[in-house]
Amino acid sequence: MKLEDFNNIDFKNAGNLPLPVKGVLLLALLILLIGAGYWFIWKPAAEDLERAQIKENELRDVFLAKKRQSINLDAYKEQMVEIERTFGALLKQLPDKSQMDGLLTDINQVGLTRGLEFELFKPGKEVIGDFYAEMPIQIKVIGSYHDLGAFATDVSKLSRIVTLNDLVISAAAKGKSGNEPADASRLVMEAVAKTYRYLDASEIAAKREAELQAKKGAKNTKAPKK
């Protein structure tokens, strides 16, 4: 077989071509068919298989996660019941709107019972949270160190949640009557008492409506892009 045998190939008379030339042509045709088959059939099929295997692994992970959840479903249900019970107990420690006046009276009464003098008892503006409202109360009381400590203890034991924050204790500038010289045993305690109440259904609905309107207003104020 010589190179000249490939220069003047007559495909119309391919049957009379020398056997070595026929073998080379058939081999080239076979390689071409294999390449075309790989590019147009096997390669797309392999890519589809790879995607299917990735999807299979994802579905297997989801299945195993769901299976673990189903196995622990009873434990999750018990945990949810316990959480709801605990949340309900905490919620009962929050007064509703109608009980706030009584709670403020209780705080004041605790101080008077301990013999404290109130120079300031000023409820502030409520701070609205997700399902509760926080009311800060500025207080300034005068009494002995022991009575101030007992007052703080009594406040912590109230059936409703009350916390004392930003405590500042200093010596009283005057005696008990106001005309007497300062008594070292008398102290002034300034603090912010914070108490909480839960929002009723109408307040929660109004809060959500206000948030929705605020979002709409913010969206409407955005300048359109040109």
Question: Residue ranges of the domains in the chain?
Answer: 17-71, 97-203
Q: Which of 144, 70, 156, 137 is nearest to 114 (CA)?
A: 144
Q: What is the DSSP letter of 42?
A: I
Helix, strand, coil percentages in the chain from 3-state DSSP, rounded to 5: 60, 20, 20
For residue 217, CA distances in Å to 139, 170, 210, 213, 214 come to 39, 49, 10, 6, 5
For residue 161, CA distances in Å to 15, 108, 189 come to 104, 15, 20
pLDDT in tens, 4-46: 555 555 555 655 566 666 677 677 778 888 888 888 888 888 8
pLDDT in tens, 52-88: 889 999 998 988 888 887 887 788 788 888 877 776 6
pLDDT in tens, 157-203: 887 788 899 999 998 876 555 555 556 678 999 999 988 887 777 77
Hey, what CATH class is 97-203 in? alpha beta
Question: pTM score, two decimals?
Answer: 0.50
Q: What mean pLDDT is predicted for residues 113-124?
A: 90
Contacts of 174 (CB under 8 A, 6+ apart): 180, 181, 182
φ/ψ (deg, to 5) at 189: -115, 120
174 near 182, Cβ under 8 Å? yes
